[in-house]
């Protein structure tokens, strides 16, 4: 419903357009601003969220020809006028707007009738074809709707959960989930999705009870552990056992990569246990960057020695430098 805000707020200035802006240019400008300030692109930024609500309110009024005409006439009256929402002292709402054919609803807040397709590639990544045997998921509870600036109620969000294997999460793939009514739908998992990450499918949730936009489906992803690789941001870490002689004398070894051919690495003579060798560009690949493969060397101590090997080691013990490798440790411990 039109309010004092229509006197006090310059919707044209909020959107950065002139008062004679065409409907097409108005929509184009709003789309650009919506992408910039949308909460999904500015998580935790309260200023961006407030700006998004502000431009959505402005667009919802100016995009409706009838409301825009009323708004222009109200603004022409000047900002000094005041009115109340009901017929209280000093005149009511009907007295002020009787010349405009009655009060009309303001649909501010929300996405102002903006569909998923209007955002282009910003959301289409979640609506591709195909299926995957690696994903499994189910729906949880709704997470509530949204009402902005007195407009229609936004439909409730619905939570879904899926568990992916490590390689599927790293490489990305389109999987199938099942909706509450038993119908399957597709979800495109972007490459590099991490454990606990949420993927939002806009407009796939509960419908609005009063004509507003539908809610979203929020898919929470769990990723199974890999038996060899662990993830550190965009980097992958793998522990690579080497023999004592490989570490002491140096060697060229093979190191596995995630879902690809192994790579060869040079272990320098005298390499200590826990040293990390880096393989550039063989980590997690995403649209935001590519990580590295971190190969952590671990010297493997043989559990069983035959007589010849034991004799050789005892001979080496006689010849190795008589240094105490724990001397520095003991000194630091004494403080």
Q: pLDDT for 31-71, tens place per residue? A: 889 888 887 778 778 888 888 888 888 888 898 888 888 88
Instruction: Give the CATH number for residue 217.
Output: 2.60.260.20
Instruction: Please check whether residue 21 lies inside any domain of the structure.
Output: yes
Instruction: Please check whether residue 47 lies inside any domain of the structure.
Output: yes
Instruction: Please check whether residue 97 lies inside any domain of the structure.
Output: no
Same domain, 199 and 231: no
Contact 219, 162 (CB under 8 A): yes
Same domain, 12 and 57: yes
Tell me the pLDDT tens digit for each residue of 229-243. 999 999 999 999 999
Percent pLDDT > 90 in the chain is: 35
Question: Please, which pLDDT band fits residue 158 given cuts at 50, 70 and 90?
Answer: confident
The stretch 196-203 carries a mean pLDDT of 90
Q: What's the start-to-end Cα distance of the chain, in Å?
A: 74
Instruction: Please check whether residue 315 lies inside any domain of the structure.
Output: yes
Same domain, 212 and 267: no
Q: Does pTM surpass 0.85? A: no
Instruction: Give the CATH number for residue 34.
Output: 1.10.287.110
Of the residues 19, 41, 72, which one is the last residue of a structural domain?
Answer: 72
Question: Please, which pLDDT band fits residue 183 given cuts at 50, 70 and 90?
Answer: confident
Look up residue 127 and give its DSSP letter.
S
Statement: residue 248 has pLDDT above 70: yes
Instruction: Please check whether residue 148 lies inside any domain of the structure.
Output: no
And the tokens for 277?
């060798």
In this predicted model, which residue has the larger pLDDT, 241 or 98? 241
Structural domain for 278, as ranges: 226-334
Of the residues 19, 44, 72, which one is the last residue of a structural domain?
Answer: 72
pLDDT the model gives residue 7 = 64
Same domain, 248 and 311: yes
Of the residues 72, 96, 119, which one is the last residue of a structural domain?
Answer: 72
pLDDT the model gives residue 250 = 96
Same domain, 241 and 329: yes
Statement: residue 106 has pLDDT above 70: no
Question: Please, which pLDDT band fits residue 77 given cuts at 50, 70 and 90?
Answer: low
Question: For the ranges 108-112, 264-268, 277-281, 324-328, which has the lowest average pLDDT?
Answer: 108-112
- If residue 146 lies in a helix (H) or strand (E), which one and from where to where? strand 146-147
Cα separation, 102 vs 242, in Å, equals 83
pLDDT the model gives residue 5 = 57
Task: Read off φ and ψ for residue 293, nearest 5 degrees.
Answer: -95, 125
In this predicted model, which residue has the larger pLDDT, 41 or 23? 23
3 state SS of 162: strand
With b meaning 16 or more CB within 10 Å and e meaning fewer, what string describes 26-50? bbebbbebbeebbeeeeeeeeebee
Cα separation, 159 vs 309, in Å, equals 61
In this predicted model, which residue has the larger pLDDT, 139 or 121? 139
∠ CA 192-196-202, nearest 5°, is: 80
Instruction: Please check whether residue 79 lies inside any domain of the structure.
Output: no
Structural domain tally of the chain? 3
pLDDT the model gives residue 228 = 95
Task: Read off φ and ψ for residue 194, nearest 5 degrees.
Answer: -110, 165
Same domain, 177 and 214: yes
Mean pLDDT of the chain: 77
Same domain, 203 and 256: no
Question: Please, which pLDDT band fits residue 140 given cuts at 50, 70 and 90?
Answer: very low
Look up residue 291 and give its DSSP letter.
-
Half-sphere exposure (Cβ direction) of 130: Cα atoms closer than 13 Å? 15
Contact 206, 214 (CB under 8 A): yes
Cα separation, 233 vs 189, in Å, equals 17
Contacts for 229 with CB less than 8 Å, ≥ 6 apart = 166, 236, 237, 238, 258
């Amino acid at each position: 419903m039109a309010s004092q805000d229509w006197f006090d707020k310059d919707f044209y200035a909020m959107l950065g357009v002139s008062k004679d802006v065409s409907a097409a240019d108005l929509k184009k400008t709003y789309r650009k601003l919506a992408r910039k300030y949308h909460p999904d692109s500015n998580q935790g930024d309260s200023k961006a969220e407030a700006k998004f609500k502000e431009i959505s309110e402005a667009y919802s009024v100016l995009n409706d020809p009838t409301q825009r005409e009323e708004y222009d006439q109200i603004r022409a009256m000047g900002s000094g006028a005041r009115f109340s929402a009901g017929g209280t002292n000093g005149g009511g709402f009907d007295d002020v707007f009787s010349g405009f054919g009655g009060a009309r609803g303001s649909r501010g807040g929300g996405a102002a009738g903006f569909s998923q397709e209007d955002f282009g590639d910003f959301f289409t990544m979640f609506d591709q074809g195909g299926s995957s045997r690696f994903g499994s998921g189910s729906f949880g509870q709704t997470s509530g709707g949204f009402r902005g600036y007195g407009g229609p109620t936004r439909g409730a969000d619905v939570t879904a959960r899926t568990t992916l294997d490590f390689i599927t999460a790293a490489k990305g793939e389109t999987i199938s989930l099942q909706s509450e009514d038993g119908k399957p739908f597709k979800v495109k998992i972007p490459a590099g999705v991490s454990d606990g990450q949420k993927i939002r499918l806009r407009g796939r949730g509960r419908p609005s009870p009063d004509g507003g936009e539908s809610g979203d489906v929020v898919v929470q992803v769990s990723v199974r552990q890999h038996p060899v690789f662990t993830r550190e941001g965009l980097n992958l870490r793998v522990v690579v056992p080497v023999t004592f002689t490989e570490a002491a004398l140096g060697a060229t070894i093979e190191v596995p990569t995630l879902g690809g051919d192994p790579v060869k690495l040079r272990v320098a003579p005298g390499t200590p246990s826990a040293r990390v060798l880096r393989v550039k560009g063989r980590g997690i690949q995403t649209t935001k960057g590519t990580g590295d493969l971190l190969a952590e060397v671990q010297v493997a101590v043989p559990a069983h020695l035959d007589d010849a090997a034991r004799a050789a080691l005892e001979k080496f013990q006689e010849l190795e430098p008589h240094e105490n490798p724990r001397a520095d440790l003991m000194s630091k411990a004494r403080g």
